[in-house]
Chain A
Amino acid sequence: RKEVEQDPGPFNVPEGATVAFNCTYSNSASQSFFWYRQDCRKEPKLLMSVYSSGNEDGRFTAQLNRASQYISLLIRDSKLSDSATYLCVVNTGGGSYIPTFGRGTSLIVHP
């Protein structure tokens, strides 16, 4: 089983839709979690960190479920500009920082 797993998609949704991605991780000792966004032929950019209590930034909401070992990203009111690959990153290193990337979930928002 891979350490960090994501459904590669693509998720094809119309503008205005709500879409959610999950990311599961295998190491129960994982400490920190992040969502990155990567546009085609560009570097990944940090979208948001994922806190135990969950966090929201505008149309984006991230949640952590430690019991089931997954994190989620919810995007409300999708925009065309949200089309990208969303990468889940899990720090599996315990005290040190060892990031493990999921393979990414592709989102396509169409008019």
Chain B
Amino acid sequence: GAVVSQHPSRVICKSGTSVKIECRSLDFQATTMFWYRQFPKKSLMLMATSNEGSKATYEQGVEKDKFLINHASLTLSTLTVTSAHPEDSSFYICSASGTLYNEQFFGPGTRLTVL
């Protein structure tokens, strides 16, 4: 299967700061990338879908001005959590799918803790 990396794997920050998470497809071109959030013992929640070169499509209830998504190339998407607050603490996972693969491949996730 394809490989998707995510960086950083873990971040701890102060309330009010912004955090950028990178998601890279290492061996395939990801035409679509997805960003999910998962709280402990809860199911994955899709936050947004991004296609290369176009604006992300956000799910209902997800603030696009707070969670900035950029999908500038076929191998990189970034999620920036702006003015993070403790309630933003969660496990953020990206996934990617491309023209060669019908399924999506997940990055290892980023555990964000906001103090």
Contacts and interface: CB of A to CB of B under 8 A. Distances in A.
Tell me if B's interface is mostly helix, strand, loop or mixed: strand
Interface string B63-86: 000000000000000000000000
B43 A46 contact: no
Report the contact-size class of chain A (Cβ under 8 Å from the partner).
10 to 19
A25 to B, nearest CB: 15
A66 B111 CA distance: 38
Interface residues of B, number: 20
B43 A104 contact: yes
A11 interface: no
Contact of B34 (A32, A87, A99, A102): A99
A9 interface: no
Contacts of A44: 44, 93, 95, 106
A42 B103 contact: no
A29 interface: no
Contact of A42 (B1, B97, B102, B109): B109
Contact of B44 (A45, A46, A98, A101): A101
A99 B34 CA distance: 9
A104 B49 CA distance: 21
Given A98-B49, A101-B44, A42 B108 contact: yes
B32 interface: yes
A43 B1 contact: no
B106 A41 contact: no
Given A43-B93, A44-B44, A46-B1, A97 B106 contact: no
Interface of A: 32, 34, 41-46, 49, 87, 89, 91, 97-99, 101-104
